Homo-oligomer: A and B are copies of this chain.
């Protein structure tokens, strides 16, 4: 692996034990970059020493960005008071993630050294299901009261806001912690000091999500409404936390990656490529390969049934891959498009008839174009130019098979993800691998049906 000049410099300084210079260099760097260097170039036994050189706040930020294995190894090297320091500097959502990721014995040690407040907040977040908005929220936010004056509010923010992840939006709550308004820091800045919060807060159409809402929906709300944070309330509309845009981006990117992996018949993983061992990668791919291999047996059975036709006219075999591939490609185009549209919130189950209508129109056009091209190609290129034994009727069978296959593939392809979603299955899993298997079998059946009825084989 190539190293950058900076990486080499830091490695050299570490080997030479120039800790003063190292502290100077590291403390002006960004957390993400320091974490990358810890991961890529610092030997495991030097990491604890280097980590201790970091200023407290940066240390916590770097810690969050490290890989699980390095985190665990660092925690082992920490004294009890070092561990307390790091944990208390973490934002509570990051601390909850940490507890979620670490093995049980490390978790016990973390919780033992967290402050009682922190422990309570971590436990609260961990109560929510993994795919809920509650699981990605931060319970540290700034709340105001409607009766505060603007200068009182600013003083309150200065007094309490220092360890909060964001102060861009402030949340106004009543005595029962119901969310009754929001104020941006900009509005506070533009208001006069003696104005009351209730007069500058926005009370209409406050956008919020419930703790149990799907975190992907919460993330899509950020995209729709161009937000930088989103309040999270419980079923009684009491404010319990906020989701920040950085976590929303992570959710969106992760969901896109998961959908892509599912479409390619891989069990999704939430780690970067090189963080997964070959054995883990194998275990995420092999079940699908086996399943699809076994299900391809059906296509084999169909071919066996028509062995006599193929023996009578061997040229028919040569077209099987082309027919199956074109059917599969047509079906995938529709299923992948619809699956992504579902993920983006552009298409819902209630649109199913509009989707089928549109795909049918597209399929008619594609079927005509492909059927006509195949006819010309088979009859002119294969027969006349290459001199193969092809009759007009054979070209017709191939062209008609393509036409019908493309139409059926596209309709199956667009309907399956929507039906899967409705039935509570994952549309992305339906999208590619299964469509291909279904369409393979269908295209062969259509092919042999035309072979029988037109060629009489």
Residues of A near any B CB (own CB < 8 A): 1-2, 28-33, 154, 157-158, 161-162, 167-168, 185-186, 189-190, 204-205, 207, 222-228, 245-246, 248-250, 252-253, 256-257, 259-261, 263-266, 272-274, 278-279, 281-282, 285-286, 288-290, 292-294, 296-297, 299-301, 303-304, 307, 310-311, 314-315, 317-322, 324-326, 329-330, 332-333, 336-338, 340-341, 344, 346-347, 350-351, 354-355, 358, 361-362, 365-366, 369-370, 373-374, 377, 388, 402, 406, 432-433, 436-437, 440, 444
A286 to B326, CA, bound (A): 11
Q: Closest CB-CB distance, A291 to chain B, in whole Å?
A: 10
A383 to B313, CA, bound (A): 26
Q: Which of B224, B225, B265, B344 lies in contact with A332, CB distance below 8 A?
A: B265
Indicate how many identical chains form the complex. Answer: 2
Q: Which of B263, B282, B324 lies in contact with A260, CB distance below 8 A?
A: B263
Using A329-B288, A347-B274 as known contacts, say yes or no to A303 and B282 having CB atoms under 8 A apart. no
Q: Are A329 and B189 in contact (CB under 8 A)?
A: no
A227 to B31, CA, bound (A): 12
A58 to B95, CA, bound (A): 39
In the bound complex, residues from chain B placing their C-beta under 8 Å from that of A332 are 264-265
Besides the contacts A2-B350, A289-B406, A310-B310, what 4 more A-B pairs have beta carbons closer than 8 Å? A161-B189, A167-B185, A261-B337, A289-B330
Q: Which of B285, B322, B365 lies in contact with A286, CB distance below 8 A?
A: B365
In the bound complex, residues from chain B placing their C-beta under 8 Å from that of A317 are 303, 307, 310, 317, 320
Q: Are A325 and B440 in contact (CB under 8 A)?
A: yes
Q: Closest CB-CB distance, A363 to chain B, in whole Å?
A: 9
Q: Are A30 and B374 in contact (CB under 8 A)?
A: no
Q: Are B290 and A373 in contact (CB under 8 A)?
A: yes
Residue of B nearest to A339 (CB): B260
In the bound complex, residues from chain B placing their C-beta under 8 Å from that of A319 are 300
Q: Are A326 and B440 in contact (CB under 8 A)?
A: no
Q: Closest CB-CB distance, A259 to chain B, in whole Å?
A: 7
Residue of B nearest to A168 (CB): B168
Q: Closest CB-CB distance, A31 to chain B, in whole Å?
A: 8
Q: Are A322 and B310 in contact (CB under 8 A)?
A: no
Q: Are A264 and B337 in contact (CB under 8 A)?
A: yes
Q: Are B286 and A347 in contact (CB under 8 A)?
A: no
Q: Are B340 and A318 in contact (CB under 8 A)?
A: no
